[in-house]
Amino acid sequence: MQRGFGDCHVTSRAINTGHVILCCSSSMTARCQHVVAALLLTLGGVLSFPVGSEKRDPVSCGYQSCHPTKPGMLNVHLVPHTHDDVGWLKTVDQYFYGDRNDIQHAGVQYILDSVVDQLLKNPDRRFIYVETAFFYRWWKQQSASMQQTVKQLVNEGRLEFVNGGWCMSDEAASHYSAVIDQMTLGLRFLNETFGACGRPRVAWHIDPFGHAREHASLFSQMGYDGFFFGRLDYQDRDSRRSKKEQELLWRASDSLPAPMADLFTGILPNGYNPPTGFCWDQLCNDAPIRDDPDLEDYNVDDVVQRFLQAANNQAEMYKTNHIIMTMGSDFQYENANLWYKNLDKLILYVNAQQAKGGKVNVLYSTPSCYLQELHRANLTWPLKTDDFFPYADDAHNFWTGYFTSRPALKRYERISNSNLQTCNQLEVLGGAASRKGPFGEGDSQTLRKAMGVAQHHDAVSGTAKQHVTNDYARKLANGWQHCQVLVSNSLASLSGSSAPRVYCDLLNVSVCSLTESSKKFSVTVYNPLARPVTWPIRLPVYGSSYLIKDAKGNSVDSQVLPVSKATREVRRSRGHTANELVFQVQAPPLGYTTYSVSMLQGGASSAASPKRGAPTSIQNKFLQVTFDPDTGLISGLSNLETKQSIKLTQNFYWYNASDGKNSESRQPSGAYIFRPNSTVPFVISRVAKTETVQTSVVQEVRQWFAPWVSQVVRLYADSRALELEWTVGPLPVSDGLGKEVITRLDSSIKTNEMFYTDSNGREILQRRKDFRPTWQLKQSEPIAGNYYPINSRAFIKDDVDQLTVVTDRSQGGGSIQNGSLEIMLHRRLLYDDNRGVGEPLNEVSDIFPEGLVVRGRFLLSLDRPASAADIYRPLGQEEVLQPVLSFTDGDLDANARLEFSGLQAALPPAVHLLTLSQWDADSVLLRLEHQFQISESKLNSQPVTVNLQKLFSTLNVLGVSELNLSANQWKDEVRRLSWTPENEEKPYLKTFQDPSAWEVTLRPMEIRTFLVRVRADASSTEGRRRRQTVTEEVLVPQNTSFSQKSHIKADQMLP
């Protein structure tokens, strides 16, 4: 339903968009009439988006544009397509231009040129395009007349977009927040460029290496009618083929009521390749159709005969009289004439058999046209409620290595997501002055696009070549540079101080030029969460005693600690100080606070000095950790509030990576595949050398296992979680052995062969050792075959205890022994694993020429299973959306505003503010998420209501409309094909009533997406200043090619 202005009722249904507008007050006041008039005047503007030109142009795209099929025959849907990786063996730029064809012959610009040319030659031909990161670039370079031509092709359904995100995302290492953003980015471009005909009906993940349930849930909520993919476990595939279950209904959420997260899912017959013998690309060697009967090598009869055989074989494995053939592959169609000329002939000659009683009908088609026929078949489909991990393509080939591959990139991608959310939020809160202000021009779009690229299934997955990986990281760094300007401008606008700001991106290794040299500085802490956070800060300093004051002038407890040996080793020559200043900050929701730091001179040194050895225990008011005095290892963990205690040991091990010289299989471990040589990992050291630092702010037990493995066990004074900060690398390989390093937690918890992992950072899935829920598993890899992706948390539990580990990046892990949980941290391998990347995963860099060093952390909590989510859900969000610190040198500006919150009040604990970003001149995109699953928490798994009008402190909310999850359709206009599961009633979508137009209710795991029309609050100084700017200039970033049609001046909206 739609929301509008004030206490609303329906006042008008706009004829030309069919979109309901609500208006304020109980009677049609002058103000209300004014607003309606303004709205009607601008209906071609904001309100036509995201619907686009759907109702205006005579078009026949979508399901209407499908070729007719023949009911009494086997209909073969030929789907011409290209699979264009957004970076893999070449960078995304090299792929676009066709540069470096010595690495791989691939040029996306030529593909699109050639396909458009060939589509125009025959109106029956069809093509689908998938990756908007490429299409968007190509589109920008076309002439107006070519753009018009392409629009025509799209409007007629001859060129159809499927999936449509910026890239085809990885499903094992990506976080839902970044996936939603990249889909929104791509789909918005298609919507604004092509209107409704540009909206994909089908999700298309033909290449990702295993499929996450959360992805399916997100696709459902984005309004897709169906989903197709190419890769699944070979045993699963065989079982589904024999049972004709390659097409199914995936119920992708335990919490959302069906069919909200139901997604029809089809497994393609041959990965995403054509049937053997029918590849007519310039990259292939199959014989063309030689149809001159006068020639000796005439082969039409042979081709037709082979094709009928292939079609009939395929039909035996599917339920309906329709089958799909993917006619294309990686970077094909650069010379599309080859493909289309032969496909035209294939269709002609096969269908000619119908006159002689042939029962096969071949047609040009698209995935959505194929899907429509499956829907028309009106069958019931097997229901699936688990996921498609792990993926194995043979007995010893488990693609579970990439869950961890390139851990540094995986962390950088995650922190970049956090930075992007901060950038988005501050763009909204700071107004137009954020994009153009005292520090120059900044933007969020550069980082948004870089993050879109980084979600690709060879990017965050860690399966690209090294030079491509470097390019992904460079793009993220460049995006953050653009955002830093925006963030500085925004903070200047909000605080009233234009003092220059410095960002320290290497604080995790204690490097920050400003704090290392300054005697007096301030740190501004921006918190992107919608609730207050307490956050530890560690800064490299050269003094030994400091005075710290918060925004109210109160002094804050702090501690100076010596920089650890591990940190000195990893920072190398980039930093020099001997000390770290540690204190806890408290930042307001969606806002910032400022702390001033002054070095005390002549005062007594407050630097703590480490003691040799481990204590018997460290504790704060929530947790106690005990240590084994003989080994220096953790020996137990207790929750002092709940009076729980478990035995817990933790240590580091490595698996010897298979080199492939093995009688069972020649498969080596590589970027994709994890194949250890034995089931027992080698311990790195049975004992840890330890030292301990205990202060009132933090207690640390520093453990040193080997020159390449160390850890800090850390407990902050106010924390309910134990931090394990691990540092691993450079992994020694001079012994000729590839190494895959894990840490393992062994506990007294009786896990009964089960453990639990999250799916893309959202819902939890149960994992059982040597077991798959939908087929009889023959386990052939006892370790790798029990590994699963961990995106943000994993846990083990029994009836009384739950041990949860929150991670700071995506990693792979498993529970091989009862009571145990292992997580892979780092991999260094000496052989390529023969899946295409063509390089061993052996990361070195200029700073680490002898091998990459990686640092990360786990947050451990021990709770009762019934209440564990109350701790780990918010903890997980704190780890994903971290505060951004900025530093200013010297004294604070006397008039500066030291603290600010963009919210009137913190959101309730169950509600997460997922998205707040500027959409256009006077609208923002808002996503609110219920972050608990159903029955996960007594306290928090309840519906919760938020008043949108009372959300923001400085923004007046004038109107609200609800969108689908990907923000490319109004919620009340979403129509999805409905499907019936086997042995169940067809589910009908329930609609829930919100308490009022402004109050929206979120149910467990629900994400609601709103386009919110806002105006800066004119009653505040900031508001007045911003409002003046708003009326003068357009707020949409100028460097986008997004359609400018929706711009209206904010004052047109004001009474």
Q: How far is CA 760 from CA 211, 792, 963, in A?
A: 10, 8, 22
CB of 923 to Zn ion, least distance (A): 35
CB of 71 to Zn ion, least distance (A): 36
CB of 89 to Zn ion, least distance (A): 10
- The site for Zn ion, by CB under 5 A, has a size of 2
What CA–CA distance (Å, rounded) separates 950 from 934? 27
Q: For Zn ion, which residue of 17, 19, 32, 85 counts as binding (CB under 5 A)?
A: 85
Nearest to 546 by CA among 536, 537, 558: 558
Three-state SS annotation for 656-706: EECCCCCCCCCCCCCCCCCCECCCCCEECCCCCEEEEEECCCEEEEEEEEE
Q: Which two tokens stand for residue 224?
A: 């897709």
Residue nearest to Zn ion (CB): 207
Q: Which two tokens stand for residue 45?
A: 């503007």
Neighbours of 966 (CB within 10 A): 28
Catalytically active residues, by annotation? 207
Q: Which is closer to Zn ion, CB of 106 or CB of 582?
A: 106
Q: Which is closer to Zn ion, CB of 406 or CB of 1027?
A: 406
CB of 209 to Zn ion, least distance (A): 9
Q: Which is closer to Zn ion, CB of 85 or CB of 863?
A: 85
Q: Which is closer to Zn ion, CB of 95 or CB of 480?
A: 95
For residue 1019, count CB atoms less than 10 angstroms from its CB and return exposed for 0-12, middle for 13-18, buried for 19 or more.
exposed
Q: Which two tokens stand for residue 527?
A: 């918190």
CB of 92 to Zn ion, least distance (A): 12
- Sign of the CA dihedral with 431 first, then 437, 439, and 443 last: positive
Site string for Zn ion, 149-188 (x = CB under 5 A): ----------------------------------------
Q: Name residue 900's beta-bridge partners.
A: 592
Q: Which residues contact 276 (CB under 8 A, 6 or more apart)?
A: 310
CB of 837 to Zn ion, least distance (A): 11
Q: Name residue 1013's beta-bridge partners.
A: 923, 959
Q: Which two tokens stand for residue 192?
A: 């604004």
Q: Which is closer to Zn ion, CB of 326 or CB of 877?
A: 326
Q: Which is closer to Zn ion, CB of 582 or CB of 837?
A: 837
Task: Decide if residue 131 touches Zn ion (CB under 5 A).
Answer: no
Site string for Zn ion, 34-73 (x = CB under 5 A): ----------------------------------------
Q: Which is closer to Zn ion, CB of 207 or CB of 740?
A: 207
CB of 272 to Zn ion, least distance (A): 9
Contact between residue 801 and residue 861 where contact means Cβ atoms under 8 Å apart: no
| Stretch near Zn ion under the rule CB under 5 A, chosen from 132-140, 205-213, 612-620, 838-846 | 205-213
Task: Provide the 3-class DSSP secondary structure of residue 805.
Answer: strand
| Stretch near Zn ion under the rule CB under 5 A, chosen from 82-90, 653-661, 912-920, 964-972 | 82-90
Q: Which is closer to Zn ion, CB of 200 or CB of 588?
A: 200
Q: Which two tokens stand for residue 1004?
A: 């467990």
Contact between residue 883 and residue 954 where contact means Cβ atoms under 8 Å apart: no
Q: How far is CA 923 from CA 238, 714, 747, 1016, in A?
A: 50, 44, 51, 11
Task: Provide the 3-class DSSP secondary structure of residue 974.
Answer: coil
Task: Decide if residue 207 touches Zn ion (CB under 5 A).
Answer: yes
Q: Which two tokens stand for residue 719?
A: 């924390």
Terminal-residue alpha carbon distance, the chain? 25
Helix axis angle for 445-454 and 407-430, nearest 10°, is 150
Contact between residue 716 and residue 584 where contact means Cβ atoms under 8 Å apart: yes
Q: Which is closer to Zn ion, CB of 183 or CB of 697?
A: 183
Contact between residue 409 and residue 174 where contact means Cβ atoms under 8 Å apart: no
| Stretch near Zn ion under the rule CB under 5 A, chosen from 159-167, 206-214, 753-761, 1021-1029 | 206-214
Q: How many residues does the chain have?
A: 1055
What CA–CA distance (Å, rounded) separates 11 from 20? 8
Task: Provide the 3-class DSSP secondary structure of residue 35.
Answer: helix
Q: Which is closer to Zn ion, CB of 166 or CB of 521?
A: 166
Task: Decide if residue 929 touches Zn ion (CB under 5 A).
Answer: no
Neighbours of 760 (CB within 10 A): 28
CB of 457 to Zn ion, least distance (A): 6
Q: Which two tokens stand for residue 693?
A: 């630092």
Task: Provide the 3-class DSSP secondary structure of residue 384.
Answer: strand
Order of strands across the sheet that contains 923-930? 911-920, 923-930, 1007-1016, 955-963
In the Cβ-directed half-sphere of 72, how many Cα atoms lie within 13 Å?
Answer: 4
CB of 586 to Zn ion, least distance (A): 45
Task: Name the pairing type of β-strands 788-790 and 811-814.
Answer: antiparallel
CB of 503 to Zn ion, least distance (A): 34
What CA–CA distance (Å, rounded) separates 413 from 473? 8
Enumerate the H helices of 56-106 as residue ranges: 92-97
Q: Which is closer to Zn ion, CB of 209 or CB of 654?
A: 209
CB of 852 to Zn ion, least distance (A): 25
Contact between residue 888 and residue 898 where contact means Cβ atoms under 8 Å apart: no
Contact between residue 528 and residue 881 where contact means Cβ atoms under 8 Å apart: yes
CB of 463 to Zn ion, least distance (A): 9
Q: Which is closer to Zn ion, CB of 85 or CB of 922?
A: 85
CB of 207 to Zn ion, least distance (A): 3
What CA–CA distance (Å, rounded) separates 939 from 923? 34
Contact between residue 454 and residue 493 where contact means Cβ atoms under 8 Å apart: no
Q: Which is closer to Zn ion, CB of 207 or CB of 763?
A: 207
Contact between residue 767 and residue 789 where contact means Cβ atoms under 8 Å apart: no
Neighbours of 537 (CB within 10 A): 19
> What is the binding site for Zn ion (CB under 5 A)?
85, 207
